[in-house]
Amino acid sequence: QKEVEQNSGPLSVPEGAIASLNCTYSDRGSQSFFWYRQYSGKSPELIMFIYSNGDKEDGRFTAQLNKASQYVSLLIRDSQPSDSATYLCAVTGGSYIPTFGRGTSLIVHP
Partner 1 sequence: EPEVTQTPSHQVTQMGQEVILRCVPISNHLYFYWYRQILGQKVEFLVSFYNNEISEKSEIFDDQFSVERPDGSNFTLKIRSTKLEDSAMYFCASSGPGEHQPQHFGDGTRLSIL
Q: Which residues make up the interface to partner 1 (CB under 8 A)?
A: 31-32, 34, 36, 42-46, 49, 51, 88, 90, 92, 95-103
| Closer residue to partner 1 in complex, CB, 13/36 | 36
Q: Which residues of 75-105 are buried (b: 16+ CB within 10 A; e: fewer)?
A: bbeebeeebbbbbbbbbbbeeeebbebebbb
Instruction: Give the shortest CB-96-to-partner 1 separation in angstroms.
Output: 4
CA–CA dist 41, 98 (Å, integer): 21
> Smallest gap, in angstroms, from Cβ of residue 99 to partner 1?
8
Judged by CB, which is closer to partner 1: 42, or 77?
Answer: 42
